[in-house]
């Protein structure tokens, strides 16, 4: 038996402000820190010894994991991977979602947020929100830094990394702190969801998703905070 725990970071400043965040490196709100603390407490109750920790490059995921590790009193080294970053929202980055619904229409914004292969217009490289202009990403090869992404693009980088570095760690217990879309990508892969099903999948902030494996096959799956659980579509 082995376990994979997926945690979307706690509420971020731009989650609260309803902005398209993507690769902008914003931090947690006080509520987001509380969500991360509760996530750590819920994981602790499961009495699972974790062998490996992973995070994206982004502050909101890193700090969520830091708070979880403090609750667990387990300070193993964390492997940070830019491939686990949130989806890049291109020219939508920094814009308010409600305002964009009024401007573009609710259906169009929903398609940008949830469709499989639709990319927003690219973000201008001179924009301060472009990853090229954010210190956090200075170590990423320039050719790997996107101007915009679809969920399909996000899926490809996330799953390439997962298969290369995580999937081969069979019989190990692993926690990944990441983002709504990078976790959606992982769920599409792990649960074999089709392109329509993935558009319906919602990932709540700061609520650990515990996936149990037996003989490398998923046998159980649940959100640890049942009051804030979302429909997993498959379990």
CB 5 within 8 A of CB 175: yes
> What is the CATH architecture of 2-228?
3-Layer(aba) Sandwich (3.40)
pLDDT tens column, 21-41:
999 999 999 999 999 999 999
> pLDDT digit string (tens) for 172-217?
999 999 999 999 999 999 999 998 888 888 899 999 999 999 988 9
Q: Which residues are catalytic?
A: 9, 86
pLDDT of 232 strictly over 80:
no
Q: Residue 21: which of 144, 142, 176, 149 has the closest Cα?
A: 149
Structure tokens at 134: 């954010």
pLDDT at residue 234 above 70? no
What average pLDDT does the segment 79-98 reach? Answer: 97
Q: Give the domain ranges of the chain.
A: 2-228
E strand or H helix that includes residue 108: helix 106-114
Strands 52-55 and 174-178 turn out to be: parallel
Question: What are the distances in angstroms from CA 82 to CA 10, 13, 161, 174, 223?
Answer: 18, 20, 9, 17, 25
How deeply is 171 buried, as exposed, middle or buried, from its count of CB atoms within 10 A (0-12, 13-18, 19+)? exposed
Q: How far apart are CA 21 and CA 90, in angstroms?
A: 10
Residues of the chain above pLDDT 70, percent: 98
Looking at every residue in the chain, the average pLDDT score rounds to: 94
pLDDT at 235 over 90: no
Residue 52: the pLDDT is: 98
The residue among 228 and 208 whose pLDDT is bigger is 208
Distance CA 135, CA 21 (A): 16
pTM: 0.95
8-state DSSP, 215: T
**Three-state secondary-structure class, residue 214:** strand
Query: How far is residue 52's CA from residue 46's CA, in Å, rounded to a whole number?
Result: 16
Residue 233: the pLDDT is 59
Tokens 């990078």 locate to: 182
**Confidence at residue 153, expressed as pLDDT on a 0 to 100 scale:** 97
Give mean pLDDT, residues 69-93: 98
Per-residue DSSP letter, 28: B
Question: Across residues 103-126, what is the average pLDDT?
Answer: 87
Task: Quick: pLDDT tens for 41-59.
Answer: 999 999 999 999 999 999 9
pLDDT of residue 184: 95
């Amino acid at each position: 038996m082995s376990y994979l725990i997926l945690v979307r970071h706690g509420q971020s400043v731009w989650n609260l402000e309803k902005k398209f965040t993507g690769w902008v490196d914003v931090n947690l709100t006080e509520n987001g820190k509380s969500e991360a603390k509760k996530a750590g407490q819920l994981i602790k109750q499961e009495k699972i010894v974790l062998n490996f920790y992973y995070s994206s490059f982004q502050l909101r995921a890193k700090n969520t994991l830091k708070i979880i590790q403090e609750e667990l009193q387990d300070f193993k080294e964390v492997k940070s991977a830019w491939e686990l970053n949130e989806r890049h929202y291109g020219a939508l980055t920094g814009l308010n979602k409600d305002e964009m619904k009024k401007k573009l229409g609710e259906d169009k914004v929903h398609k940008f947020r949830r469709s499989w292969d639709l990319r927003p217009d690219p973000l201008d490289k001179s924009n301060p929100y472009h990853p090229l202009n954010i210190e956090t990403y200075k170590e990423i090869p320039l050719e790997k830094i996107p101007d915009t992404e679809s969920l399909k693009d996000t899926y490809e980088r996330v799953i390439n990394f997962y298969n290369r570095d995580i999937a081969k760690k069979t019989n190990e217990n692993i926690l990944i702190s990441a983002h709504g879309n990078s976790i959606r990508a992982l769920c599409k892969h792990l649960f074999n969801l089709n392109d329509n099903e993935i558009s319906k999948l919602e990932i709540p902030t700061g609520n650990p998703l515990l996936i149990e494996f037996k003989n490398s096959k998923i046998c159980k799956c649940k959100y640890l905070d049942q009051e804030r659980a979302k429909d997993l579509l498959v379990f």
